[in-house]
Amino acid sequence: MAALTVNLVLATLVAVCYGRFDPLQHSGPASPYFDAPSQFGIDSSTPSQCVVDSAAYIVRHGSRYPEPGSFAGWQALFAKLQNATYTAHGPLAFLPSWVVPVDDAPHQPLYLTSTGAGEAFKLGVDLRKRYRFTPGGDNFTVWAAGQQRVVDTSAYFLQGYLSQGNYLAAPPENRGIVVAMPDSVNYTFADSLTPSNGCPAYKGGDTSAKATTFRATYQGKIAARLNRYLDGLALNASDVGTMQDLCGFQAEVSGDTRFCDIFEEEEWNDYEYAHDLNYYYGSGPGNPYSATVGFPWLQAVTGLLASAPNASAGGNATFVPPALVMSFTHDNNLPPVVAALGIWNTSDARGVYPLSPSRADARRTFRSSYLVSFLGHVALERLSCDAHAPSSAVRHTAGQVVAAAGTSAGAQKYVRIRINDAVVPVPGCASGPGSSCPMEGFVKHVQARGAVAGDFVERCGLQGVANATGTLDIFTKVPSADAETFTLLAPQANALVPVGL
């Protein structure tokens, strides 16, 4: 008994010190947004001698209801559970009363949940506070792929970003502008936030079927274990896949996490790794065309970061982008940016990459849950840094505000990559404050990655195709004639109309 008591105390201490395993942080694209843990031991805060003076984000939309195919799977599971006579025990005792968490089928599948709207609003608030780039009353422009849930995410982001003050009586001020791009079409080529659809060769490099093969190694075993809690009904591998998906989705829709609780930690690790394989080989570094389709965004924002904030890009530019460039898109458009950057695909240890199709290696840094969770994002921050940290004793002269860190005439520029807020070092270029990369080194790194990515038109097999382009110009041309953009103003002037009592 004494030994048992000691073991329980130790288990409690471990849970308190290290936190319990959370399936919602291992659910890949079904994960609610969370800040990814540091995989490289780098503090995510801005170094004390630095200030971020510009940044570029590419963001997945917020949490949504299921797509039609997944929704059909949920309905099939519900029908199976309701059309049988059985007894459910233990962790499955809730199944006879479970109903599909969609109560307005014509309007909910495909679209944002209220949680997704809240996630986007909060991101707007957080980035406004973090960077303080936009003076009160200034208008602010963002870019979004044109599917409704993406445009809605960008609009809720703007509502959060511009939520301070009272500008209802000032229609020209404090307005957000969404530049919406054609979504998942084949005629905008690289000038898009969904460029893989404009690259005919891209699908030929997709070997994400490895994920399906891997799922076959564990889903049947899980079904056999769960069937011990059922008398008169048998779950199969397909049911297991649907139920694990429901953990994250139902948590986002209604806060119900009962599906999360019925699977064991190792089963969640297998589920997550299947998603890792899907994204690594489908749209990430394992697809030889991913860097090609991710590079135009990287090249465009690198050009902006390498120039002064809010400076004209020159040439054929028709628009000066803000110091914070926000791009909203879908999950499959984030791994190509990772591939273009050349990160999360190398290791000092042999055998980690390319990812094994049959066995998860705990040493891997490519983790789908840390990238393509709802509202997952890749960010590039430009740091302006003094040579030394601020002194612990600062003299103030009456009437003069002391210059902030990183704003001196001799401040140097650096770049840091953040993925779901965690800092990821540029390979071979982490000598700056906070493991950042000196701007000159980052530009050289991007140029080298451009050689790896290759020319978009040539690699995608678009030679001779009218209007085919490998350039993304949407941030400096508004609207973009090639991409056929449209704009949305949010919030609308006079959107709040008093109603008589």
The most confident of 35-49, 165-179, 384-398, by mean pLDDT: 35-49
What does the pLDDT read at residue 2?
41
Q: Average pLDDT of 441-460? A: 98
* Degrees, nearest 5: CA angle 369-371-373: 55
Same domain, 95 and 75: yes
- pLDDT above 60: residue 423: yes
Distance (Å, whole) CA 108 – CA 138: 34
CA-to-CA distance for 146 and 159, rounded, in angstroms?
18
191 token code pair: 């000038």
Q: Would you say residue 494 has pLDDT above 70?
A: no
Are residue 254 and residue 337 in the same domain, yes or no? no
Sign of the dihedral defined by the CA atoms of residues 73, 153, 473, 281, in that order: negative
Buried b / exposed e across 351-375, counting CB within 10 Å, b at 16+?
Answer: ebbebebeebeeebbbbbbbbbbbb
CATH of the domain at 383: 3.40.50.1240
| Least confident window among 23-32, 77-86, 91-100, 167-176 | 167-176
pLDDT for residue 11:
35
Sign of CA dihedral 302, 303, 306, 309: negative
Q: Is residue 2 part of a domain?
A: no
How much is the pLDDT for 478?
87
Q: pLDDT-based confidence at 259, cuts 50/70/90? A: very high
Kindly tell me if the per-residue pLDDT of 3 is higher than 60.
no
3-state SS assignment for residue 450:
helix
Q: Could you tell me the CA-to-CA distances from 72 to 30, 65, 241, 397 in Å, in that order?
A: 17, 12, 13, 69
Q: Indicate the SS3 state at residue 61.
A: coil
Domain that holds residue 440: 36-64+112-165+172-195+287-387+405-494
Residue 416 has pLDDT above 50, yes or no: yes
Note the pLDDT of residue 395: 87
H-helix or E-strand containing 3?
helix 2-18
Same domain, residue pair 327 and 436: yes
Q: What is the arithmetic mean of pLDDT over 158-172?
A: 89
pLDDT digits (tens, 9 = 90+) for 66-113: 999 999 999 999 999 999 999 999 999 999 999 999 999 989 999 999
Torsion over CA of 337, 183, 370 and 273, rounded to 10 degrees?
-100
Residue 8 has pLDDT above 60, yes or no: no
Q: Check pLDDT > 50 for residue 500.
A: no
Give the per-residue pLDDT at 41: 96
Together in a domain, 89 and 118: no
373 domain-assigned = yes
Clarify whether residues 224 and 368 are in a common domain. no
Q: What is the pLDDT of residue 246?
A: 98
Task: Give the end of a domain, one of 230, 254, 282.
Answer: 282
Domain end: 259, 282, 305, which one? 282
According to DSSP, the β-strands at 377-385 and 324-329 are unpaired
Domain membership flag for residue 25: no
pTM for this entry: 0.93
Q: Are 191 and 159 in the same domain?
A: yes
Residue 367 lies in a domain: yes
Inter-residue contact 283 to 290 (CB < 8 Å)? yes
pLDDT at 150: 97
Number of domains in the chain: 2
193-226: per-residue pLDDT in tens?
999 999 999 999 999 999 999 999 999 999 999 9
Same domain, 424 and 464: yes
Distance CA 119, CA 128 (A): 14
| Mean pLDDT (whole number) for 229-236 | 98
pLDDT of residue 19: 59
> What number of other Cβ atoms are within 10 A of residue 494's Cβ?
9
Tell me the pLDDT of the chain averaged across its residues. Answer: 91
pLDDT of residue 7: 36
Mean per-residue pLDDT for 388-409?
88
Contact between 306 and 300 (Cβ < 8 Å): no
- Which residues touch 268 (CB under 8 Å, ≥6 apart)? 21, 23, 26, 27, 244
At 1 the pLDDT is 40
Report yes or no on 42 lying in a domain.
yes
> In percent, how much of the chain has pLDDT > 70?
92
Catalytically active residues are 61, 331
CA–CA gap between residue 426 and residue 219 (Å, rounded): 37
Q: Is the pLDDT at 314 greater than 90, yes or no?
A: no
Q: Shortest CA distance to 116 belongs to which of 154, 153, 162, 161?
A: 153
Domain boundary among 282, 314, 330: 282
Helix residue ranges, H only, 132-264: 148-161, 209-215, 219-226, 237-254, 258-261
pLDDT band for 169, please (50, 70, 90 cuts). confident
Within-domain flag for 461: yes
φ, ψ at 214 (rounded to 5°): -65, -40
Mean pLDDT computed over 238-251 = 98
**Pair 155, 218 in one domain:** no
Residues 117, 44, single domain; the answer is yes
Inside any domain, residue 155: yes
Q: Are residues 71 and 57 part of one domain?
A: no
Give the CA distances from residue 401 to residues 124, 130, 310, 395, 398, in Å, rounded to whole numbers and listed in that order: 28, 21, 24, 11, 8
> Is residue 117 located within the same domain as residue 251?
no
For a pLDDT cut of 90, what percent of the chain falls above it?
A: 82
341-358: pLDDT as tens digits: 999 999 989 999 999 999
For 402, the token pair is 């002391």
- Identify whether residues 144 and 261 lie together within a single domain: no
Indicate whether 333 belongs to any domain.
Answer: yes
